[in-house]
Structures are given as C-alpha cells and as structure tokens.
Chain A
Amino acid sequence: MNRRSRQRFAYWHEILLAGLLSCLLVWAWRTDPAFVSRDAQVELSTHVWELALLALPMTLIVITAGIDLSVGSAMALCAVTLGLTYEAGVPPLVGSLLALLVGTAAGALNGLFVAKVRVHPLIVTLATLAVYRGIAEGVSLGRPVSGFPDSFGFLGRGEVGGVPLPGLIFAVLAVAFSIVLAKTPFGRCLYALGHNETAARFSGIAVDRVKLWLYTLSGAMTGLAGVLLVARRNTAKADLGAGMELDVITAVVLGGTSIFGGRGNLVGTVLGVLLIHEAREFVSWHWQRDELNLVVIGALLILSVLVQRVLSSGRQEERH
C-alpha cells in the first residue's frame, strides 16, 4: 500500500505545460516573428474555439473515468439541424435553439446508455459517433447550406472590444465550468466517481443521475459549438468536426486529466488546448503541411499518457 505522507504540490503538470507553451512560442518567435503578432494570433484563434468549448465538458467526463467519442459527430448533427431549418425558412436564432436541443438530446442518449444500460462509454460513444454522423449525412445528403445573414455571422466572427465573441463565450463558460468543478458538490461527486465508483455509490451519491447529466451537458455543448462553427464558417455541412473528438481528448489528457479518472482540472485543459492549437497552427504556418499536425497530435496523445504512467508508476493500477 502506498503511503504518501507528504503533501504533494498539485500543480507540477500545469507548470510543465506552461513551460512547454512558452518554449514553443519563443521558438516560433525566433523562427517566424509574424506568427506571434497579435493580429496573427487573433486570426488563428478563430480555429480553436469549438475545440476549446468541447474540451470543457470532456474534462469533466474524463475525470469520472468516462469518455465521449461522439462530440464531433454530435456537433455536425447540430450544425446540419441549423442548416436545414434555415433552409426551410426558420430564423437562424430559432434554428440555433433547435440545434442546442438536438445536441442535448444526443448527449442524453449517450447518458442513458452509459448510466442505465450500463454499457462502457467507449462503446456507446463509438456507436453514436457513427449514428449521429450518419444521420447528419443522411438528412442533409451531404449538401452544404450557406448564406446565413451577417447578423448571425457576428456570433462566429464578431469581436467585442477587440476580443472575438466566441472567445468571450468560451471564457465565460470556462470560468463557469471551473467553478462547478472546484466549488460545487457536483464537482466533488465527479472526482469521487472517478476515484472509486463503488465507494461513491456507497456514499449515497446518485451515480447514475450524475452520469446522465454529465453526458447530456456534453451534448448541449456540442450544440453550442456547432452553432458557433456554422456562424463562423457561414456554412453548415455534415462533415464538420470530423476527427475533432481526438483533438479534444488529446487536449484534455495532455492537460493533466488522468484517463483513469479522479484527477484533472480546467486550467490544465485550457493549457492543453492552447498547446495543441499553437503547435498545430505553427506547423501549418511554417511548413504549410497540415498532415504533420496529425502525426504531432497523435504522438502527443500517446506520449502524454505514457509520461503520466511512468511518473506515477508507484500507483497500484490493477488489483488482483
């Protein structure tokens, strides 16, 4: 049995990430100063907001030792909902609300299977990844919908006081999520669930209800992300966000949230998102080869967990 009697400094990982980020930015500045200019960064930041938004609920889910692979597909489904309703004459704001509803429903379905049918979230969300994407493709027949009014586009492209609007929305939500995680009983339940689901049940925590809410919340966020994405790109297509779930999970795991549950926070996630974003954008900027990104992200994901494992090798992992 491990006895850790000294208090651990809890923020090594975040400091490490901040360090990596700084190194990256310094190197980028030395190589290509235009990259780190304010204008360039603001411009590039438009690529990251959906990823950042989805990383918020994903952090919570991974803390409970769960996973949600369907976020990209659910987002596409919401986007398609918005597009098709707009085509049918519904004002985009109403369409956005419908999209939010669809996302929430999608998340709730995940939650039902995870909590009530008690299927491993990996399998459920692997299946819904296909189902939601398939429905999006089937219903829209692959056709894009564009031509949204500028007023709507403001949601995705507008700035308020020099800060992109999606960025503001993200900031507000990030703070809200942090507060929920760190300062509410619900957040405490999540950590307990991740550490020891059995003990959580025995402690009177309504584990099934928590899980249901969590996945539903994730679904709602995919709705929001979908709406913002459509507003930004002025187009709603069924293939939006393909592969996004991988980026989100990488950002969360990179940010220090343990895939086994019980540990993690949103500061780390935000740093993880930033790190991935800057690495990716710089690779595109400098080498102009998007494919290299994929390799970098994939390798980062594996490495971050490998390092976590090596560092915590004192922990008992499998009980026999």
Chain B
Amino acid sequence: MEQPLVRIANLSKSFGGVQALIEVGLDVAPGEVHALCGENGAGKSTLNKVLSGSVVPDSGSVTFAGKPLRTGSVAASEAAGIAILHQESAAFPHLNAEDNLFVGREPMRLGGLLLDRASMRRQTREQLDRLGETLNARKPLGELTFAQRQMVSLARALSRSCRLLIMDEPTASLSAREMAVLFDLIRQLRSDGVSILYVSHRLEEVFELADRVTVLRDGRKVETRPVSELDRGELVRLMVGRDVRQPGQTRATAPIRPPASPLLRVQNLTRHGAFHDISFSVHAGEIVGMAGLVGAGRSEVARALFGIDRPDGGGAELAGSPLPLGSPPEAIRRGLALVPEDRQHQGLALPMTIGENLSLAVLRSVTRRGFFSRKLEMVLAERLIGELSIHTPGPALPAESLSGGNQQKVLLGKWLAASPRVLILDEPTRGIDVGAKAEVHRLMRELAGKGVGILLISSELPEILSMSDRILVMREGALAGELNRGEATQERVLGLALPDAGPTAAVGDATSRPDDSEQRSRPRGRLLLRRLAQQREYGVLALLALTVAVVAAVNPAFLKLDNLRDMLVHVAPAAIVACGLTLVIVTREIDISVGSLMGLLAAVVGILTSPQRVGASVAVGVLVTLLAGTGVGFVTGLLVTLGRVPSIIVTLGMLTALRGVTEMTMRGEWITELPAGLRFWGIGTLGGVPVCLWVAAAVIALTSAITRVTPLGRRLYAVGSSPRSAFLAGLSERKLKLFAFTFTGLLTALATLVSAPQLSVIESGTGVGFELLVVTCVVVGGTSINGGKGTVFGSTLGVLLLGIVATVLIFLKLGEMSTYWERAIQGAFILVAVLADHLARRRSAVEVGA
C-alpha cells in the first residue's frame, strides 16, 4: 500500500462555539482525484483552509509527503507543494492575467531587478492554452467575465508545481466547453502524479473524475468510499444521512391557508447577473422556505425585495399595493423586514451597545417630541432581551461581547421591534448553537401564528423541511421548483437544487457575460466615449490636443518654442513629484505634505549654499537636501505603516509642522543670492535643453520603468488593487507603502533643487498650494483614489494639461486675474475627473475594492 500523500488525523476546529470540524481524518493518495462532498456548512471549506494554511486547527495533525505540515502558514503550505483554487476570488481586479498569475513570485532577470516579461508572457500563454482559454491576457481582470477570472485563478494555482491541488467549486460558472478542458487537465495532472482534492456540488463531476469520495456531514467524516462502489442516490443519502436529525418539532398541524390574497407577491423579478424571472408569493401566517445552493441567488432576491439592490425588471406587491423597490426605509414603512445573512458586516454595528443595535431600525418609535428617549430604548431593549432570552447582563454592553447565538437574537430582535408584516430571514441560524437555534425556530412559529408572513432562506435542509409550509428551490438564478410540505423530502429538494452537468442554463450565460451583450446593443459613438472615459490617458491626451489647438488658433504666439520651453520648465517640478505621488495613491494612500516639504527643503538648500548664509558648496547642499527629503518621506511612511495612522492625518500634520519649521528657520528673511552651481540645476542648459527638463524626463522614465518592468512596481499595484488578495499572496503591504512614501520624499527633494533656482527669492511661502496641484494632476491623469489603477504617463499628461491651462489663462490676456482663478480651475478639474470616473464606472464591469 503506497504511502498517502496527505494524511489528516483527528482534525478539529471550532469558530466561536460552533464546531466546523470534529475529529476528521482522511487520506489522499498520490496521483488521486479525491472528491469532498457535503452540504453547505458540512466543513469542506474549513478543511481546505487548514490545508492551505489560512486556518489554524484546534487539534489534530496533517502529514504531507511523510512530513508533518506546519499549519496556519500559507507560505509553509505553498512551500510543501499545496496549491488552492479558492471559491471566492483572491485575484487582483486591476491587474491583467499575466500579473495575476505571478504576483508575489515573479520570474525575474538581472538578479531580481527586472521582471522577466517574456517568460511571464510565455508561461501565462502556456497555462491558459492548457485550459483552452483564449482570453486577452493583457486586459485587467475586472473587465473579464466571471468564468474567465476563474480560469485565471486556476491558471495561477496550476502555474506552481504542486503535489496537491485543492479545487473548491471550480466549475461554478463555467460553460460546457471550459469544463471539458478542465477535466482533461485534471486527468493529465493525475497521470503526472499530482493529487487533487475536488470539492463540488455537481455530483456528476464527482462520478466522472474522482477515484474516491469523502463525505462530510455536520463537521464529521461520514465515510470514504471508492466512487465505483456508489451511485448518485447513495451518495446523496450519505450526504443527507439516513437518520435525519430533527432540530425541533415539526409543526403540529399544517395550518390551513384560506385562499386569501397573498401578503407578498413577487412578479418576474430580475437582476442581471444574479437572478432571473422570479415569481412567488407568501401568505399571512405562512412560512415559505427558500432552498438552494450558495450562489443560487436567494440572498440577492431578498436584498432586491428589501431595497438594498435595485432590480432590473419585475416588481412586487405587499398587502395588495405595489411595493416600491430600491428604498429600505420605504420597505420598512410598508412592513417588510430583512434579517441579513452576514450578521457581522450587514446586521449589527458590533461596537455599539445591545440596546443601540436593538433600536436601530425603529428609531422613530423610541423618540418623543423629536428627542431620543433612552428610557423608551431601555424598555424596548429589556422587553426584547426577555422575549428572546438573550443571555447578557444588560443592554448597555457592546454587541461584540455576545456569543454568535445571542448576536443573532439581537439581530432578530432589532427587526421584530419593527413589527413587520413580512419577515425575510436569511440564514438565521447559521453559526449558532443548538439551543439558540431552537429558540429562533420557536419564535418563527410564534410570529407565523400571529399572521406574519415569513420567507426563510436557509442552506440547512432539515431546518427548511421542518419549518416550511412550502419550499421554493432556487438553482443558478432561477426558480427550479416548488414543493409543498407533504411532498418535500431532502432528496427531492437536493435533486432540484443541484445543477446537472452540461451547459449551464440561459441565466448562467447571462450571469457570466453581461458586458458582451451590453456592448453589442450600444451604438458605436457611445462606445467610443466610454472607452475614452475608461482609458483616461487617451481622454486627457485628446483634451490636451484640443486645448493646444484652440489656444494656438486664438493666439499663435503660444506655439513659439520659447514659450513652450518656458511652460515645460515651469511644470517640471510638478511632473517630478507627480511620479512619486502616483505610486502613493496607487497603494491607496495620499500625501498632501509635499508642498510644505518643498518649502522646507528650499530653505535648507538656500541657507546651506547661499553666500549670504552658510555658504557651503553646492555638492553639500544638494546632498543634504536629497537626504533630508528622503528622510522626511521615510518618517511619513513609518507613521503610516507602523504607526497605522491614516495617511491623511500624517500628511496633514506634516503639512503644518513642516511649514512651521520652515518659518522658524527662515525667520522671515529672504534669500536672494544663490551660487551659480545651484542655478545650473534649474536654469542651466545641457545641449540646449534646460537641465530641469532632463531631470524631469529621467525621473519620469525611471518611475515608469519601475511600474512596468520591476516586481516592485507590480506589487504596488497589487496592494492597491486588493489588500486582501495581496495578503493572501504574501506581499508586505508595509514595505511597499514605505517605499512609496520614501521615494516621494526623494523626488520632492529633486523637484526642489530643480525649482529653487528658478525663483528669484526663496521665502517661507514657497511651495504653498503645490500639493493640491500635484494631486490634481495625478487624479486627472487617471489614477484612482481607490488604488490599483493609474500610470505615470497619465499623471505626466495631467501635469501638461494643467500647465497649459495655467499658461492659457495668461495668454487669454486675463492678466493678473489668471492667478486668482487658477486654484478654482484646478479644483474644478478634480471634480470633473471624479464625475467622469463615476459615470464610466457605472457601466463598467471592473470591480473595485478588497
């Protein structure tokens, strides 16, 4: 008997009192496809996460290739040869496929300095070809369809040579063709000796691919059997359990529904990418269960009804009158309430007290004459605490001090206080203990008895079966069927909920490819505008060309070489600092202290080199300035990364403090004489071109190179695109951000050296307003304040555009008025830019955020 590749023994894990895994043991042989099956909540994901290193088990051990595996470390698991394809995407939406494949372990040349782009391109193409994917590897991932993103994630998992590949629901949104390719690949890997741990609800796939299958139920292993010994029915029975555990009594009498009109009637509700043509009703006193797999669209329907999301079609009626969709306050007013599935992020404000949470949805009712009445709130809280048996010393404690079960009760209580006529419960007993669960069920029955209509969304079959009068089953965004209490069994519900292998249904296609159909239906002109808006650089370039053309037409003197050169010299410092600021903003931070730093550094270099003062050599002056700038940038970065002080605060504080230091140093005096050596930096020429332009060009080229061809550059974008995925990929957010700030400090010093000599005087007001100008240029140039997106090229274009605008104001003979309006125009530019971003984003498929 061969030694198993993976041996898991006695693995247990609980999350806050709920046992996710209970003494699970299983083996995976080398070169085996081992399927993992079980209902939602059976423990599959937890097991996968233990293997991949994201979760530390409470007890038990994992032996990999004969050696004990150090759990809780992603790096250790990867080093051992474990790769995982997560169910939820761990990708970077702003980066393209090549970058997504290699972030964190990029192939490099020149000893780690440069990216080996050729190798990346080649390997990416190889991996994608292997999967039969013809997608454009240069497009940002956010612009691809969900299926394509899955394939890229898969390619990433495969691109590492691994011995165990864990795949969690890999075929969720794939078409038949893609699935066939995937299966071939899996067979190929198996014959290469790679083991595959395959989690899927699609039992046909299990029978097609797997050698053995392990069934988990309620955190325990039920059995491991060779697939050849099973058939579908038996597998389902193993998953569901022959002796179905009854969590509570079934309803004693099936209440007779009078043929009254329904309390809630939903008609043809549709939301692109989520669900399609949903129609059902809920009567007073009825409990309607909504079953289906995760991702079937149930929560999305609930959210659309409650008004969190806006549907694209269809409508609903509550108690006979139309229910306006899209406004939660309106829904509450009409008597609809939603207990959301994510109690931590959507349900409760954990740091607030229990009492505060309980009254949050009904603030009006605890208000007397405009004033919030603590007494009424207390009365309400105590009543609910009693009714729901919430175990807590009192309502004044923070909600986060409660156990999961009690938190869920608070969440329920909050909505009970709203006296809804229809109550939608989304996974109300997820992650809570048996006792609390029973109480929630009792409560539901009480409410139904009082005439409330209840829609119960749950992934737990026994719960749905025991509680519901009717069961709706959703599958892949559509209603697959409806079962009455009498005819519903677990097998039947599962049978309706599980998708067949083969081409996904029509709604599946709608789910995966929304933008293609959108593109086809849009007229070409609007398409062009959209591209312009999305590819900001082109838009700015166009605007730039337009402005130049207009001004040149009005006043041809504008195009004179001298004038252009002067303009470029004037904007050179901004262009230099904009490079650094682009990097900072790309990582989701900001630096508004650059102007003050410039003022300070100007004072430093002035004092050091001017014969009026210290009179040191130019070399010394330059060196000290560069060091000082870099140092301040470094300190700023430290405060942001180690001190965890938000960058807006740090740089706001720096902005003032540095200005103060400058004024103290200058003591109100001016410096008017600067040595020739220093003046060369700004005004001197080299080959006919001013030195400052050479410096600016060099900086722009260098920074551009960093972003495009170094691993560092790619990682900066990765961190800004998705901090969470960056964390999962093992990137050091701290080091990257520290670099960005330090680099900006250095560039500010350089910009000072280049600009100071241009001024006839240096005084303490130098540099005021500079930061706003640079931020404007960067934002206008297409760098997104949300991070992950933006180019040095775009920022430079932004600088040119704003430089031209400033010159234009002069040329239009506004005289001194130009300086006054300059700031207003800069600010207006940002507003227009963000407005354009917003409009472009609404139609774009790019995901933003972690």
Interface membership of A175, Cβ < 8 A: no
Contact A299 to B657, CB < 8 A, known contacts A133-B823, A189-B363:
yes
Contacts of A71 in B (CB 8 A): none
Write the chain B residue with the least CB distance to A290.
B663
Q: Which of B331, B359, B648, B727 contacts A204 (CB 8 A)?
A: B331
Do most interface residues of chain B lie in helix, strand or loop, or is the interface mixed?
helix
| B361 touches A (CB below 8 Å) | yes
Q: Is there a chain B Cβ closer than 8 Å to A187's Cβ?
A: yes
Known contacts A123-B779, A200-B349, A292-B660: A187-B372 contact under CB 8 Å: yes
Q: Does A262 contact B (CB under 8 A)?
A: yes
- Interface-side segment among A37-45, A124-132, A147-155, A213-221: A124-132
- Given contacts A5-B397, A131-B827, A305 and B660 within 8 Å (CB-CB): no
Interface residues of A in 164-201 (CB under 8 A from B): 179, 183-185, 187-189, 191-192, 195-196, 198-201
Is the CB of A142 closer than 8 A to any CB of chain B?
A: yes
Is the beta-carbon distance between A306 and B643 smaller than 8 angstroms? yes
Q: Does B209 contact A (CB under 8 A)?
A: no
Decide: A129 and B400 in contact? CB cutoff 8 A. Answer: no
Those of B614-664 within 8 Å (CB) of chain A: 639, 643-646, 648-650, 652-664
Are B653 and A301 in touch, CB under 8 angstroms? Answer: yes
Q: Is A243 an interface residue (CB 8 A)?
A: yes
Question: Assuming A113-B834, A202-B346, is B656 touching A138 (CB within 8 A)?
Answer: no
Q: Which single residue of chain B is at the shortest CB-CB distance from A250?
A: B653
Interface string of A1-33 (1 = CB under 8 A from B): 111110100000000000000000000000000
Contacting pair B352 A134 (CB below 8 A): no
Given contacts A119-B838, A134-B825, A305-B649, contact A184 B367 (CB under 8 A): yes
Whole-angstrom distance between the alpha carbons of A199 and B776 in the complex? 33
B414: nearest residue on chain A (CB-CB)? A203
1/0 per residue, CB under 8 A from B, across A108-132: the answer is: 0000010001111011101111111
How far is it, in angstroms, between the C-alpha of A122 and the C-alpha of B786 when the chains are bound?
Answer: 11
B398 with A298: CB separation less than 8 A: no
- In the complex, which residue of chain B has the Cβ closest to the Cβ of A318? B723
B694 at the interface (CB under 8 A from A): no
A276-320 CB contacts (< 8 Å) to partner B: 289-302, 305-306, 309, 317-320
Q: Which of A126, A199, A309 contacts B775 (CB under 8 A)?
A: A126
**Given known contacts A183-B371, A189-B363, A243-B656, A320 and B723 CB-to-CB distance under 8 angstroms:** yes
The answer to whether A134 and B329 touch (CB under 8 A), given A7-B397, A202-B340, A305-B645, is: no
Would you call B546 an interface residue if the criterion is a C-beta within 8 Å of the partner chain's C-beta atoms? no
Q: State which of A5, A130, A195, A306 has its C-beta within 8 Å of the C-beta of B823.
A: A130
Q: What is the 8 Å Cβ interface bit string for chain B, positions 9-31, against chain A (1 contact, 0 not)?
A: 00000001000000000000000
Q: A184-B372, A201-B308, A295-B660 are in contact. Are A128 and B831 (CB under 8 A)?
A: yes
Residue of A nearest to B825 (CB): A134
CB-CB under 8 A from A297, the residues of chain B are 653, 656-657, 660
In the complex with contacts A4-B398, A122-B648, A195-B820 CB distance below 8 A? no
Q: Which B residues lie within 8 Å of A195 (CB)?
A: 349-352
Using Cβ atoms and an 8 Å threshold, which residues of chain B touch A263?
351
Q: Would you call B807 an interface residue if the criterion is a C-beta within 8 Å of the partner chain's C-beta atoms?
A: no
| A67, chain B: closest CB distance, angstroms | 7
Whether A259 sits at the interface, judged by CB under 8 Å, is yes
CA distance A3 to B361 in the complex (A): 24
Q: How many residues of B contact A (CB 8 A)?
A: 86
> Chain B residues near A259 (CB, 8 Å)?
646, 648-649
Q: Is B835 an interface residue (CB 8 A)?
A: yes
CA distance A135 to B825 in the complex (A): 9
Q: Is B529 an interface residue (CB 8 A)?
A: no
Nearest chain-A residue to B657 (Cβ)? A298
A291 to B763, CA, bound (A): 14
Give the residues from 325 to 348 in chain B that come closer than 8 angstroms, CB to CB, to chain A: 327-329, 331-332, 338, 340, 345-348
Q: Per-residue CB proximity of B549-572 to A under 8 Å, as 1/0?
A: 000000000000000000000000
Taking CB atoms, residues of chain B closer than 8 Å to A118 are 838
Q: Is A98 an interface residue (CB 8 A)?
A: no
Whole-angstrom distance from the CB of A152 to the nearest CB of chain B? Answer: 27
Asked if B830 is at the interface (CB within 8 A of a chain A CB), the reply is: yes
Check if A117 sits within 8 Å of B823, measured CB to CB: no
| Interface members, chain B 815-836 (any A CB < 8 Å) | 816-817, 820-831, 834-835
Once bound together, how far apart are the Cα atoms of A205 and B359, in whole Å? 12
Q: Name the contact of A130 in the complex, choosing from B372, B661, B827 (C-beta under 8 A).
A: B827
Q: Does B724 sit at the interface, judged by CB under 8 A?
A: yes
Q: Kindly list chain A residues whose C-beta atoms are within 8 Å of the C-beta of B850.
A: 319-320
Chain B contacts of A292 at CB under 8 A? 660, 664
Question: CB within 8 Å of A: which of B344-397?
Answer: 345-352, 356, 359-361, 363-364, 366-367, 370-372, 396-397
Q: How far is the CA of A133 from the CA of B332 in the complex (A)?
A: 43
Interfacial chain B residues near A113, Cβ < 8 Å: 831, 834
Contacts of B306 in A (CB 8 A): 202
Q: Does chain B have a CB within 8 A of A93?
A: no
* A294 and B657 contacting across the interface, CB-CB below 8 Å: yes
The size of the chain A interface, using a CB distance under 8 A, is 80
Which A residues are CB-close (under 8 A) to B844? none
B394 to chain A: closest residue by CB: A7
A1 to B347 alpha-carbon distance, docked (Å)? 16
Alpha-carbon distance between A4 and B400 when the two chains are bound, in angstroms: 7
- Indicate with 1 or 0, residue by residue over A37-79, a CB within 8 angstroms of chain B CB atoms: 0000000000000000000000000000001000000000000
A249 contacts across to B, CB distance below 8 A: 649, 652
Structural contact, B824 and A138, CB atoms closer than 8 A: yes
- Asked whether B128 is an interface residue with its Cβ less than 8 Å from the other chain, the reply is no
B648 to A67, Cβ gap below 8 A?
A: yes
Q: Is the CB of A204 within 8 A of B649?
A: no
Is B135 in contact with chain A by the CB < 8 A criterion?
no
Pick the contact of A306: B308, B645, B775, B785 (CB < 8 A): B645
Q: Which of A4, A134, A202, A262 contacts B328 (CB 8 A)?
A: A202
Quick one: which of A3, A132, A205, A291 contacts B400, CB cutoff 8 A?
A: A3
A87 at the interface (CB under 8 A from B): no
B157 at the interface (CB under 8 A from A): no
A318 to chain B: which residues have CB within 8 Å?
Answer: 723
Given contacts A130-B823, A131-B824, contact A192 B660 (CB under 8 A): no
CB distance from A296 to the nearest CB of B (A): 8
A138 and B817 within 8 A (CB): yes
The answer to whether A302 touches B639, judged by C-beta atoms less than 8 angstroms apart, is yes
Q: Are B590 and A124 in contact (CB under 8 A)?
A: no
A141 close to B (CB within 8 Å): yes
Let me know if A123 and B328 touch, CB within 8 A: no
Cβ of B16 and Cβ of A183 under 8 Å apart? no
Instruction: State which of A117, A130, A299, A320 has its C-beta within 8 Å of the C-beta of B838.
Output: A117
Give Cα A188–Cα B376 distance, bound, in whole angstroms: 14
Asked if A246 CB lies within 8 Å of chain B CBs, one says yes
Q: A131-B828, A205-B329, A309-B645 are in contact. List 7 more A-B contacts (CB 8 A).
A: A117-B835, A133-B823, A185-B364, A246-B656, A296-B660, A309-B643, A320-B723
Interface residues of B (CB under 8 A from A): 16, 306, 308, 327-329, 331-332, 338, 340, 345-352, 356, 359-361, 363-364, 366-367, 370-372, 396-398, 400-401, 414, 590, 592, 639, 643-646, 648-650, 652-664, 723-724, 727-728, 772, 775-776, 779, 785-786, 816-817, 820-831, 834-835, 838, 850
Sample of 29 A–B contacts (CB below 8 Å): A3-B400, A5-B397, A124-B831, A127-B830, A130-B824, A131-B823, A131-B828, A134-B821, A138-B817, A138-B821, A138-B824, A141-B820, A192-B352, A192-B356, A195-B349, A200-B349, A201-B308, A204-B331, A206-B329, A249-B652, A259-B648, A262-B351, A262-B352, A291-B663, A293-B660, A302-B639, A305-B646, A306-B643, A319-B850
The 3 closest A-B pairs by CB, nearest first: A134-B824, A294-B660, A298-B657
